[in-house]
Amino acid sequence: MEILVTIGYIAICIVFFSLAIAIHEFGHFIVALKLGLKVDRFSIGFGPAIWKKTWRGVEYRISWIPLGGYVMIPDVDPEGTKKLEGGAKNGETETGKREISPWKEIAVAVAGPGMNILLAVVLAFILSALSADKFGELTCEVKDTLKGMPAEKAGVKKGDTIVSVAGKKVNTWSQMQVEVQIAGGKETEFVIRDKSGAERTVVMTPDQDKVTGVFAIGALSLPMENGLRHWLPARSPLKQLLWDAGSIFRVLKGLVTPKETKNTAKALGGPLMIVEGIYKSVRHDFWDGIGFLRFLNVNLAVLNLLPIPVLDGGLIMFALIALIFRRRVPEKVVSAVSTVFMFLLLAAMAILIFRDAQRSWRIHTYKPEAAETAETNTVTTVTNETSNTSN
């Protein structure tokens, strides 16, 4: 029976992940069609097709590699890799890409992230209609400390509140966890406020768990009265979405801050960790899984709008250059730059998948401590906020 339940949860995870990808690609697809652009293919996944069907000139397919999806639109293809049948025709470049208005390219590019945001907004409003006991944010007040861990050694006591980490002010437990991961295994200043309101500064070096790789100081959070839902931090839809975006931007900031880049990169997770996050959230509570899906859509929107060639933001960047300077970047330059970034992103994805697999293997094979450490929070492009959590 447990096997059937697990299979059911896995099926829900696949549906949630596919929905986030499909809604993104549908945005590109529908806007391209409305603008009269040619669409050759709509694919969920990459690589060879598991299933495909051509309807009204568009090939719809589900592919074997479930790491995303794409819509093949020759007129806005930034790499120029898809040539139209019969080679260049009137109004087309040598690569088969027709010269269309830059604003059409921008409209198609923005539509994908826009649909993710739209879905996130809808989910946020649905979640806000739930009973109040499903919402809440963990404060930075310490319930207890673990023996022998940095917090206890530094003299952190029950009732103390963590005010800042490495000079970064923290208001919630999840913010504190993010800053601890970014600080990594180096001496870090923590500002602590006791029950009387007096503040003091202590220095701690977070310990790294040998199974999960997560850094922690060994402090336990206060439990929520009815158990906190990981992905329902705020009852206000706007506040929820700002919370989602803020956590993503904090990680992105860490990646471009020289002193934080190394530790932030180490704490990142890839597709496997996202799927694991969906699975744990759904098993914890179905609405918690919906909250994770809301966060995932915000995540996809933000990351795809980064001004990086091969992403939507890269296409927008090239189109804006054409609008502002009335002159396009040469197609060969766009193609070359896009190809380089495509391989860089694929390499980064491969590294993240490998690290995710290593972490998952350690968790499931390290018998003595796996049950305790597997639930410890980590920082990826997805962050968690849990009740009674150790950090």
Tens digits of residue pLDDT in 330-380: 888 888 888 898 889 888 888 888 888 887 777 777 665 444 444 444 443
pLDDT reported for residue 157:
93
Give CA–CA dist 170/175, Å, rounded. 6
Same domain membership, residue 283 and residue 339 = yes
Give CA–CA dist 391/376, Å, rounded. 8
How many CB atoms within 10 Å of residue 239?
Answer: 15
Same domain membership, residue 239 and residue 147 = no
Residue 167 falls within a domain, yes or no? yes
pLDDT reported for residue 380:
38
**Lookup result for tokens 């397919």:** 61
Tens digits of residue pLDDT in 13-62: 888 988 999 999 999 999 999 999 989 999 988 888 899 999 988 999 99
What is the three-class DSSP state of 141? strand
**Nearest alpha-carbon partner for 250 in 177, 350, 314, 304:** 177
pLDDT reported for residue 224:
63
CATH code, domain carrying 171: 2.30.42.10
Tens digits of residue pLDDT in 62-105: 988 877 788 888 878 644 334 332 344 444 444 456 678 899 99
pLDDT reported for residue 373:
42
pLDDT surpassing 90 at residue 166: yes
Find the helix or strand (DSSP H, E) in which 275 lies: helix 271-284
pLDDT surpassing 90 at residue 159: yes
Find the helix or strand (DSSP H, E) in which 9 lies: helix 2-34
Task: Answer with the one of 169, 194, 223 that is the final residue of a domain.
Answer: 223
DSSP for 188-254? Answer: EEEEEE-TTS-EEEEEE-PEEPTTT--EE--EEEPPPTT---TT---SSHHHHHHHHHHHHHHHHHH
pLDDT reported for residue 91:
45
Both tokens of 348, joined, read: 């980064």
Same domain membership, residue 246 and residue 214 = no
Q: How many CA atoms lie within 13 A of 354 on its CB side?
A: 7
**How much is the average pLDDT of 161-180?**
92
pLDDT reported for residue 305:
95
Same domain membership, residue 189 and residue 250 = no
Residue 152 falls within a domain, yes or no? yes
Q: How confident is the model at residue 389 (pLDDT cuts 50, 70, 90)?
A: low
Domain, as residue range, for 158: 139-223
Residue 50 falls within a domain, yes or no? no
Q: What's this model's pTM, rounded to 2 decimal places? A: 0.79
DSSP for 51-76? Answer: EEEEETTEEEEEEEEEEEEEEE-GGG
Same domain membership, residue 322 and residue 371 = yes
Same domain membership, residue 97 and residue 28 = yes
Residue count of the chain: 391
**Nearest alpha-carbon partner for 83 in 316, 92, 104:** 92
Task: Answer with the one of 170, 194, 223 that is the final residue of a domain.
Answer: 223
Q: Please state the domain count of the chain.
A: 2
Q: How far is CA 120 from the centre of its chain?
A: 13
The chain-wide mean pLDDT, for the chain, equals 83
Residue with the bigger pLDDT between 324 and 6: it is 324
**How much is the average pLDDT of 125-134?**
83
